Chain A
Amino acid sequence: MNTMKNTAKFTAAAAAFALAGTAAFAQTEITWWHAMGGNLGETVNKIAEGFNASQDEYKITPVFKGSYEETLTSGIAAFRAGEQPNIMQVFDAGSATVIGAKGATVPVQDLLAENGVDFDINDYIPGVRYFYADSDGKMIGMPFNSSSPVMYYNADALAAAGVEVPATYEEFEEIAPKLKEAGYIPLVQTHLPWEFVENFHSRHNLPFATNANGYEGAEGTQILINSDEMKMHFTKVKEWLAEGYFGFFGTGWDDNQSQFEAGKAAMYIGSSGDFGGLTTKGMPFEWGSAYLPYWASITEEGYQTFIGGASLFAMAGKSAEENKATAEFFRYLTSPEVQYMWHRETGYVPVTTAAYELAKADGHYDRFPAAETGPKQLMLQSGENTRGYRMGFYVQIRDVENRELSRVLSGETTVEDALATIEKEGNELLARFAKTQG
Chain B
Amino acid sequence: MKRAGFASRWLPILLLVPQLSIILVFFYWPAAYAVKSSFYLQDPFGFGQTFVGLENYSALAGSAEYLKVANFTMIFTVLVTFFSLALALLLAVKADKVIRGAKTYRTLLMWVYAVAPPVAGFMGLILFNQRWGPLTEFFGALGWDFNLRADYVDTAFAMVVVSVWKQVPVNFIFFLSGLQSIPKSVREAALIDNRSDSGRFWDVTFPLLAPTGFFLLIINITYALFDTFGIIDTLVQGEPGNNPMTLVYKVYVDGFRGNDLGGSSAQSVVLMILVLALTVFQFRMVERRIHYT
* Closest beta carbon of chain A to B162's beta carbon, Å: 17
Bound complex: CA of A235 vs CA of B243, how far in Å? 22
How many residues does chain B have at the interface if contact means C-beta atoms less than 8 Å apart?
A: 40
The answer to whether B254 and A101 touch across the interface, beta carbons within 8 angstroms, is: no
Task: Decide: A402 near B242, CB < 8 A? Known: A101-B45, A438-B43.
Answer: yes
* Closest beta carbon of chain B to A238's beta carbon, Å: 14
Bound complex: CA of A104 vs CA of B45, how far in Å? 7
A362 proximity list for chain B (CB < 8 A): none
Q: Mark B206-250, 1 if CB is under 8 A from A, else 0.
A: 000000000000000000000000000000111111110000000
Secondary structure type dominating chain B contacts: loop
**In this assembly, does A406 line the interface, its C-beta being within 8 Å of a C-beta of chain B?**
yes
Bound complex: CA of A400 vs CA of B260, how far in Å? 15
Bound complex: CA of A396 vs CA of B239, how far in Å? 11
The answer to whether B44 and A248 touch across the interface, beta carbons within 8 angstroms, is: no
Task: Decide: A399 near B240, CB < 8 A? Known: A94-B259, A97-B259, A438-B41.
Answer: yes
The answer to whether A436 and B41 touch across the interface, beta carbons within 8 angstroms, is: yes
**In this assembly, does B46 line the interface, its C-beta being within 8 Å of a C-beta of chain A?**
yes
A404 proximity list for chain B (CB < 8 A): 242
**In this assembly, does B276 line the interface, its C-beta being within 8 Å of a C-beta of chain A?**
no
A102 proximity list for chain B (CB < 8 A): 47
The answer to whether B259 and A72 touch across the interface, beta carbons within 8 angstroms, is: yes
The answer to whether A438 and B50 touch across the interface, beta carbons within 8 angstroms, is: yes
Contact count band on A:
35 or more
**In this assembly, does B284 line the interface, its C-beta being within 8 Å of a C-beta of chain A?**
no
A412 proximity list for chain B (CB < 8 A): 152, 242
**In this assembly, does A237 line the interface, its C-beta being within 8 Å of a C-beta of chain B?**
no
Bound complex: CA of A29 vs CA of B248, how far in Å? 40
Bound complex: CA of A238 vs CA of B65, how far in Å? 23
B49 proximity list for chain A (CB < 8 A): 436, 438
Closest to B41 in A: A435
* Closest beta carbon of chain B to A245's beta carbon, Å: 17
Task: Decide: A252 near B149, CB < 8 A? Known: A402-B239, A402-B240.
Answer: yes
Closest to A400 in B: B65
The answer to whether A407 and B242 touch across the interface, beta carbons within 8 angstroms, is: yes
Bound complex: CA of A103 vs CA of B148, how far in Å? 44
* A405-438 interface with B by 8 A CB criterion: 406-407, 410, 412, 425, 428, 432, 435-438
Task: Decide: A250 near B260, CB < 8 A? Known: A101-B43, A104-B47, A438-B50.
Answer: no
Task: Decide: A438 near B150, CB < 8 A? Known: A428-B59, A432-B263.
Answer: no
**In this assembly, does B257 line the interface, its C-beta being within 8 Å of a C-beta of chain A?**
yes
**In this assembly, does A27 line the interface, its C-beta being within 8 Å of a C-beta of chain B?**
no
Counting chain B CB atoms within 10 Å of each CB, which of A100, A101, A435 scores highest?
A435
A-B contact pairs, 19 of them (CB 8 A): A76-B44, A76-B259, A101-B48, A250-B130, A251-B243, A258-B131, A393-B258, A399-B258, A402-B240, A403-B65, A403-B241, A410-B151, A410-B152, A432-B59, A432-B260, A436-B50, A436-B261, A437-B48, A438-B41
- Contacts A395-B258, A402-B239 supplied; 14 other A-B pairs, CB < 8 Å: A73-B256, A76-B44, A97-B44, A97-B45, A101-B43, A251-B149, A255-B150, A258-B131, A396-B260, A403-B242, A406-B150, A432-B41, A436-B49, A437-B47
